[in-house]
Chain A
Amino acid sequence: MIRQGDVLIVPVAEIPGAVRRETKGPAVVAFGEVTGHGHGWDDGVALLDAPDGTVYVENPMGLPLVHGHVTASAIETLPVVEHAPIPAPRLGEVRLQVEYAEQDVRQVMD
């Protein structure tokens, strides 16, 4: 499994019963509202949603996961790199980091 900041991608052998997400522009798996930065791929990667809410990635070319400023058409490299590109599995489950919040669990926000 690989980790880039608050995103973990766990390799899987197959993707069970998930529906391919229709995306325009980059496939973004995590986005920071405050920073405007996100983790994902410019193109060539599909995101799939399972009925239980789990998100999977189908990355047939094994493209690296990148982090940068998210625009409508690309994830642009930041002038000061915060997370370097990282090799990613061809099939994987996306896990976003969470935190404890007094009896509750919330997604890590940035």
Chain B
Amino acid sequence: MLDKLPGDVAAQLPTIRDEWLAVGLSTEPANRAAAVAGVMVTYDTASIPRPRFVVWLDSPYAGAVGQAYLAAILRGYSGMGEQVGDQVEVQVRDQVWAQVRDQVWDQVWHQVRAQVVDQVRAQVEAQVREQVRAQVGDQVWAQVWHQVGEKLHARPIGNPAWGQHDSGWLGFYDVFRRCGIPACKRLDGLAAVARNAGWWWPLAGGVVLTDRPYRIARDDQHRLHSADGMALEYRDGWGIYAWHGLRVPAEIITANPDAWSIETIMDCENQEHRRAMIERMGAERWAAKLRAHATPVQRDDAGALYRLDRAGRDPLVFVLVDNATPNPDGSRKQYALRCHHELRPMRRFKDGRVTFGDPQEERAINAVASTFGLRGTEYLLTAQS
């Protein structure tokens, strides 16, 4: 039973953490030979025949589409091609977990989690992998899946292993490997792929591997962020535009914000995207636009109410509100919420029914209350965050 880390391993924890952070955030081209060697070891470890077909693609998106085609080809060719990610990765990981958990005291387990895993997971999994997964999922669904349905595979992106983006949990077991716990060696193949490639799809009879990104740009909170191009870009040109961790359409980053009118911004349906547009425009230019084109109606603790008069149409009325929870630097995110021009309380029900209440006096608190279907006099918060 491991009741404390050996002194040399304990001293190495920051180094091990940084090594796996570097793995997760690497933008080096894949080391194909080393990655494929790692793949073969993973199949051997899982007692699955080695794949005969090895396909390399340049991005997770290409991989997600490519693996579906390779699976279909393998099925037609040999009756193989099923996803074996669960056997190759999940089952082996679970077995190793059970064996290591039995041999390590809680205190040591939690020490390694706190000093190695939490930061790697926060920076690599939460900030990068999940964004890639969401973007690949959205695009494969939008561009491919609605056309081919479930002909290729039941799950839109198959069952990938995350390669370099598995660095959080692989780093965890790397610590115990260095403590001499033999079960951890069963992860050597997965660790080799992670150190040398991006996402990969283990199939029966074949494997699709993908390259690592060409560029990762992040803000000081380690969130994907770039004001001048993709925040995450792969060598085939696929990637993600992001504003402080928020995935945004390309035009929010590539367009000239001077060209955006207040209406352009308020017409953007997603309020987080709208916030990103205002932040990209910058506080001074946004304030100048408000001064030039909108009428400040009223301001109170709930927010600031504005009206934009439009020829031949109802005025555009919106309220600017600050997020109740401050950012780490003490600033607050500001949101712009569109209201009925008479501040009528609005409700939308699940069955699509829409109701409007009676008009209210032009006050910011009435405007905010109206977005929850309430009148200002009914909007009595005891707490908010």
List chain A positions with a Cβ less than 8 A from chain B. 1-6, 8, 32, 34-36, 52-54, 67, 69, 76, 78-87, 95, 97-101, 104-110
Contact = CB atoms under 8 A, between A and B. Distances in A.
B294 interface: no
Interface string B346-385: 1111110110100000000000000111100001111111
Contacts of A106: 269, 348
Contacts of A98: 346-348, 371-373
Contacts of A86: 383-385
A109 B346 contact: no
Contacts of B383: 2-3, 86-87
B134 interface: yes
A-B pairs, 9 with minimum CB distance? A53-B350, A53-B349, A3-B384, A84-B385, A110-B272, A79-B122, A105-B348, A86-B385, A105-B346
Contacts, number: 114
A4 B324 CA distance: 8
Contact of B325 (A32, A36, A84): A84
B334 to A, nearest CB: 13
Given A97-B372, A101-B338, A110 B270 contact: yes
Main SS of the interface on chain A? loop
A46 B10 CA distance: 44
B346 A79 contact: no
A36 B272 CA distance: 12
Contact of A4 (B340, B341, B384): B384
Interface string B202-240: 000000000000000000011100000000000000000
B338 A100 contact: yes
Given A80-B328, A82-B323, 8 more contacts: A69-B126, A80-B223, A86-B385, A104-B354, A105-B346, A105-B348, A110-B271, A110-B272
Interface string B254-265: 000000000000
A109 B269 contact: yes
A15 to B, nearest CB: 16
A39 to B, nearest CB: 10
B325 A81 contact: yes
Max chain B Cβ within 10 angstroms of own Cβ: one of A3, A84, A86, A104? A3
A34 B272 contact: yes
A101 to B, nearest CB: 7
A107 B348 CA distance: 7
A105 B339 CA distance: 9
Contacts of B126: 69, 76, 78-79
A35 B347 CA distance: 24
Interface in B113-142: 122-123, 126-127, 130, 134
A109 B271 contact: yes
Contacts of A99: 271, 337-339, 346, 371
A91 B155 CA distance: 37
17 contacts: A2-B381, A3-B324, A6-B271, A8-B372, A34-B273, A35-B272, A36-B130, A53-B353, A78-B126, A80-B327, A86-B383, A97-B372, A99-B371, A100-B317, A105-B348, A108-B337, A109-B269
B155 to A, nearest CB: 14
A55 to B, nearest CB: 8
Contact of A1 (B325, B350, B381): B381
A69 B134 CA distance: 12
A34 B348 contact: no
B247 interface: yes
B246 interface: yes
Nearest to A85: B385
A108 B339 contact: no
A82 to B, nearest CB: 6
